[in-house]
């Protein structure tokens, strides 16, 4: 085949092959519902029959009996914050999982004192393998923590200003906040115990702030009593609460972007006009050389 014919063919084939591979390759993004790897949420999703929303505009109109899981890794708009406020005030349960993201933006908008410190919480003694994976073993006796012995965190932070809220979990007195990021405790760095999970009633609903979103990823949900703990918290929404996970504020990797683009292209192509255009294009491209020769 002549080079001027080979090149477009090769490009087209590669493009189709690549698109197919990207489409069928599972998502690898953090906290993605369709990510079956260690950092995805497939186990959590299956266990809680969770559904996903790609925008806070898609929050259910009947909020009672629903639990919204929000991992705010990107900034929220005023409109989104207002949607969240309305959701909670009307009786929805918001589980806010954050470590170094924009959780405080949500808490401030809801008028709550409790905040995420945003500094890494390390525990050199009570941990799973190393100090970045602190093990939490101090739980006040509440219905939400009665059956919990330990939960394991992963690159977490801590909460502060929890005076108005009910703290459900505390880190050990060996934990500390690594303010300068050198992974070693320095005399000016605060030491534990720190509040890790706090519960606050807001309007008819409630907010549970958890200082680590990673406790629900596939590799972490099976450690310690993480699953049972999440079951208890999700149970706040009611006996058969419907779990919704917001995916619109998660970090988007190129793979997710590519998948989205392919999905959009597919949606476009599957519309009647798109399909007709596609047929016309195929016919035009294939029949043009024949028509030209004649």
Partner 1 sequence: MIRAKVILIITVLTAVLLSQAAALSEPTYPPHEDPATAREEMDAYSFLTYYTSILTSISSKNYGDASRLIEQLKFVHTPEDLKYIIQRYNNLTLELTTTLNSLDRLLNDASALLYQYRLQEAYEKLSGASILLGKAEILLRDIEEATATISGRLGVFTAPAGSRVSEAYGRIREALRRLRELEEWYLNLLKSMKETALKIEAEGLKTTEVTLRLNATEAYVGGCVEASGTLTSNGEALPSRKVTLLLDGSPTLTATTGLDGTYHAVVKVPYKYVHTLTLEALYTPMGDDLGVYLASESPSVSITVIFYETMLEIAAPDTAYPGLPITVKCKVTSEDGTPLGGRRVKLLLDKSLLIEAETDIQGLFEANVTINPKIQAGQHTLTAIVEPYGIYAGASQDRKLTVSKITPEIRIRAPSLLILPAEIYIEGEVRSSLGPLEKATVTLELAGSSAIVETSQDGGFNATMEIPLNLLLAGFQELKANVEPVEPWHAPAQATIRVFIVNPANIGVASAAFISLGAIIYARLSKAKPRRKQIQELTPILREARVAPTLKPEVKVEGVRGRVVEAYFKAMRIIEAKTGISMKPYMTLREFLSEAKPKLNGVAEAFTELTILTEKTLYSPHTPEAADSMRAEELTLNIWRMLSSGAA
Query: What's the token pair of residue 75?
Result: 């900034």
Query: What's the token pair of residue 139?
Result: 């739980």
Find out whether 190 and 138 touch, Cβ atoms under 8 Å. Answer: no
Find out whether 149 and 101 touch, Cβ atoms under 8 Å. Answer: no
d(CA 269, CA 160): 51
How do beta strands 166-170 and 195-202 pair?
Answer: antiparallel
Report the site for partner 1 in 58-77 (rule: CB under 8 A): 73
Find out whether 99 and 71 touch, Cβ atoms under 8 Å. Answer: no
* Residue 21 sits in the site that holds partner 1 (CB under 8 A): yes
Site string for partner 1, 229-268 (x = CB under 8 A): ----------xx----------x-xxxx-x----------
Nearer to partner 1, 93 or 154 (CB): 154
DSSP-derived letter for residue 140 is -
Name the strands in the sheet holding 130-136, side by side, starting at the edge strand that comes first in the sequence. 127-128, 130-136, 151-152
- Out of 104, 165, 171, 214, the only residue in the binding site for partner 1 (CB under 8 A) is 214
DSSP-derived letter for residue 169 is E
Place of tokens 């808490």: 107
* Beta bridge partner(s), residue 136: 151
- Site stretch for partner 1 (CB under 8 A), options 6-14, 81-89, 139-147, 196-204: 6-14
* Residue 141 sits in the site that holds partner 1 (CB under 8 A): no
* Residue 8 sits in the site that holds partner 1 (CB under 8 A): no
Closest separation in Å from C-beta 161 to partner 1: 23
* Residue 126 sits in the site that holds partner 1 (CB under 8 A): yes
- Site stretch for partner 1 (CB under 8 A), options 77-85, 104-112, 188-196, 219-227: 219-227
d(CA 118, CA 105): 12
Site string for partner 1, 79-118 (x = CB under 8 A): --------------------xx------------------
* Residue 12 sits in the site that holds partner 1 (CB under 8 A): no
Place of tokens 């992963």: 154
How do beta strands 115-116 and 93-97 pair?
Answer: unpaired
Nearer to partner 1, 108 or 183 (CB): 183
User: For helices 254-270 and 272-293, what crossing angle results, to 10°?
Assistant: 80
Report the site for partner 1 in 184-213 (rule: CB under 8 A): 213
Q: Which residues bind partner 1 (CB under 8 A)?
A: 1, 6, 10, 13-14, 17-18, 21-22, 25, 28-30, 38-39, 73, 99-100, 124-133, 135, 137, 150, 152, 154-155, 174, 213-214, 217, 219-220, 223, 239-240, 251, 253-256, 258, 270-272, 275-276, 278-279, 282-283, 286-287, 290, 293
């Amino acid at each position: 085949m002549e080079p001027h014919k080979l090149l477009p063919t090769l490009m087209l084939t590669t493009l189709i092959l690549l698109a197919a591979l990207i489409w069928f390759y599972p998502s690898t993004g953090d906290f993605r519902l369709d990510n079956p790897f260690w950092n995805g949420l497939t186990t959590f999703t299956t266990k809680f029959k969770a559904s996903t929303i790609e925008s806070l505009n898609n929050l259910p109109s009947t909020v009672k009996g629903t639990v919204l899981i929000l991992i705010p890794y990107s900034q929220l708009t005023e409109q989104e914050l207002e949607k969240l406020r309305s959701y909670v005030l009307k009786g929805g349960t918001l589980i806010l999982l954050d470590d170094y993201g924009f959780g405080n933006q949500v808490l401030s908008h809801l008028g709550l004192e409790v905040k995420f410190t945003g500094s890494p919480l390390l525990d050199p003694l009570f941990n799973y393998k190393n100090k970045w994976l602190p093990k939490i073993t101090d739980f006040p006796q509440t219905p939400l923590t009665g059956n919990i012995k330990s939960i394991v965190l992963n690159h977490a932070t801590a909460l502060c200003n929890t005076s108005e809220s009910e703290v459900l979990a505390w880190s050990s007195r060996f934990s500390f906040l690594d303010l300068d990021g050198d992974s070693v405790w320095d005399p000016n760095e605060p030491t534990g115990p720190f509040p890790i999970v706090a519960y606050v009633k807001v309007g008819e609903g409630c907010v549970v702030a958890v200082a680590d979103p990673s406790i629900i990823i596939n590799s972490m949900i099976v450690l310690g009593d993480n699953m049972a703990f999440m079951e208890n918290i999700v149970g706040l929404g009611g006996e058969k609460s419907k779990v919704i996970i917001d995916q619109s504020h998660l970090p988007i990797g190129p793979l997710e972007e590519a998948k989205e683009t392919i999905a959009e292209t597919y949606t476009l192509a599957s519309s009647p006009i798109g399909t007709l255009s596609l047929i016309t294009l195929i016919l035009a491209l294939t029949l043009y050389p024949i028509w030209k020769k004649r």
